[in-house]
Amino acid sequence: MSEGLHSTGVRLNALLAEAGLAPLDGVLAGHFEDYLSLLLRWNVPVNLTAIRDEEGILRRHFIESIACARALPAGIATLLDFGSGAGFPGIPIVLCRPEISVTLAESQGKKAAFLSEAVRVLGVAATVHSGRAEVLRNVFDCITMRAVDKMERAVQAAELLLRPGCWLALMTTSKELDALKAAAGAEFAWAPLILLPGGEDRLLALGERKISLPV
């Protein structure tokens, strides 16, 4: 591992401490360094994220996704990252919570190709679904969403992929939250909101599905 990437791990842990979060161990920090290196190489040709600089990616994408991974309830065995994009929060979840079997669903082919390369390089046990999440036939213990196009419609589609008694995890803002809760409907009981680090009114809303899926 190069000295530059090592310093990136140190910076990531400093940002975690700034956010009041526990640091990553050396092995896990190294995985995030490798993920960042790959992301920076692919970002310009593929347009993975509008944030181009290393500091911005660490602060906005990595810290927020690590916070989400740690906040997810215990007992989740399967998780769908709906509209995964550059892999946030799905890849940080599989890195931080290796007990969870993660599926990264992404309909844009170039972004799905990046996700497949990231899974290969990082050596994580995640599955990439190159296509629309709505066509998946299996159901999950948790579904995450972050910056998904037409998110209200996506929330409605996600309900059919979620096991009864399990979790919908929405990374959003207070301005958008009421509309997303309305889209989810009365089947969900919402846990207290979790503020995400980085400011800009970012939060994690965890909704537990209480009513069984239609037979």
Q: What residue spans define the domains of the chain? A: 3-209
pLDDT in tens, 72-84: 999 999 999 999 9
Q: What are the CA-CA distances from residue 87 to residues 40, 155, 164, 170, 193 (Å)?
A: 13, 18, 25, 15, 23
Quote the mean pLDDT of the chain: 92
Interval 26-34 mean pLDDT: 95
Q: How far apart are CA 149 and CA 164, in angstroms?
A: 25
- The reported pTM is 0.92
* The predicted structure's pLDDT at residue 2: 38
Tell me how crowded residue 144 is: count the other CB atoms within 10 A of its CB: 28
CATH class entry, domain 3-209: alpha beta
In this prediction, residue 211 has a pLDDT band, given cuts at 50, 70 and 90, of: low
Distance CA 105, CA 18 (A): 31
Task: Report the distance separating Cα 215 and Cα 102, nearest Å.
Answer: 25
pLDDT at 109 over 70: yes
